[in-house]
Amino acid sequence: MTGTGHVMRSLALAQAWQDRGGEASFLCVELPMLLQERLERQNLSVHVQKALKAGSEEDANWTGDMARQCGASWIVVDGYCFRGAYQKQLTEKGMKVLLFDDYGHSDFYHSDLVLNGNVNADELVYSLRSVGTRLLLGPDYAPLRREFLQLGKKERRPSNGMLHVLVTMGGSDPDNLTSKILRQIQASDGTGFKVTVLAGGGNPHVDEIRSLIGRLEYPCNLLVNAMNIPELMLEADVAIAAGGSTYLEMIYMKLPCLLFILADNQTTIARKLGELAAVRVAGDSRIMEEGEIGEAVGRFLSNRQLHAKLREKCSGLVDGQGAQRIIQAMENRPGSVVRIAEQK
């Protein structure tokens, strides 16, 4: 697991633990330096062992040993490679394990707690689990970082006539959907918009996006690896985004969003969000022509009434107390202590 989103939600849990007087350490087999520095600025200790393969037997042994050295009894595991055998190794070392799991990726669940904070979380996908495994399902358990909790209650400033659009396609955006959207905003009379583009460090198209922005007729700003995401969401009027975990943050910030599906595991999330009317779902970008993308973008940006309805529907769906509920569940397990080692 190397995804920035995984690190950020683990950071949210670590911050909540710190706020209750505890300490947390990050144990990683791979971590970009930018993220390591960010964690260390949060007074978190970070240990990186690049020689190991994430999810391997050797990784589990190292993780268990390091957790003991850190004085931890809980290990928070986040990544699609941490399957049943890995979880079992950690529990057999006397550790309590909380596993982040977005779509039932493991062959079996030996963890003490399994957490899926998505709107489509379903108990049925976790049927192969130990008797003592407890499930924490749904947006009530969505952990949000301090920055969101501090800004989420602020009133959104009304637009001065020019719609401020936030465009974010996650960490990589392999098909460069960002550029397609920027071109289609221009095609739909981009003079009424200003745009902020967020690109992850893994995006291979940054140079192409930057070149395109130089030719656009509307104001557009590109930010790579931005750290002030909550502030940017508060400043924006609407968002156009991929169907990753960022949607939980946008809903909490009451930011009306047009959602594109970029991966198979986003399909059921998008469908459920559509049923809840919490976002407008454009469709699967991988099978959409650029003209279809443009039609979806144009309809969304021009519909101010829809934006107001989405803000209303977002209210209360993610209440910001998810990390606190997770910690309460951890503390209610016998033998819990106030240190966590978070494995990446």
Q: Which CATH number covers residue 293?
A: 3.40.50.2000
Q: Please report the pLDDT score of residue 343 as a whole number.
A: 56
Q: 47 and 104 share a domain?
A: yes
Q: 69 and 200 share a domain?
A: no
Q: 134 and 205 share a domain?
A: no
3 state SS of 129: strand
Which residues neighbour 87 within 8 Å (Cβ) at sequence distance 6 or greater?
77, 97, 99, 106, 108, 109, 110, 111
Q: 173 and 308 share a domain?
A: yes
Q: 154 and 140 share a domain?
A: no
- Which residues of the chain register pLDDT less than 50? 1-2, 335-340
Q: 208 and 264 share a domain?
A: yes
Q: Please report the pLDDT score of residue 342 as a whole number.
A: 56
Q: Please report the pLDDT score of residue 214 as a whole number.
A: 95
Q: Which CATH number covers residue 60?
A: 3.40.50.11190
Q: 269 and 338 share a domain?
A: no
Q: 193 and 274 share a domain?
A: yes
Q: What pTM was computed for the model?
A: 0.90
3 state SS of 175: coil
**CA 103/CA 42 separation, integer angstroms:** 29
- Count up the domains in the chain and report the number: 2
Q: 235 and 254 share a domain?
A: yes
Q: Please report the pLDDT score of residue 338 as a whole number.
A: 34
* Contact status, residue 55 vs residue 78, Cβ threshold 8 Å: no
The amino acid at residue 104 is G
Q: 122 and 258 share a domain?
A: no
Domain carrying residue 120: 4-144+320-343
* Contact status, residue 169 vs residue 242, Cβ threshold 8 Å: yes
Q: 257 and 169 share a domain?
A: yes
Q: 171 and 293 share a domain?
A: yes
End-to-end CA distance of the chain: 6
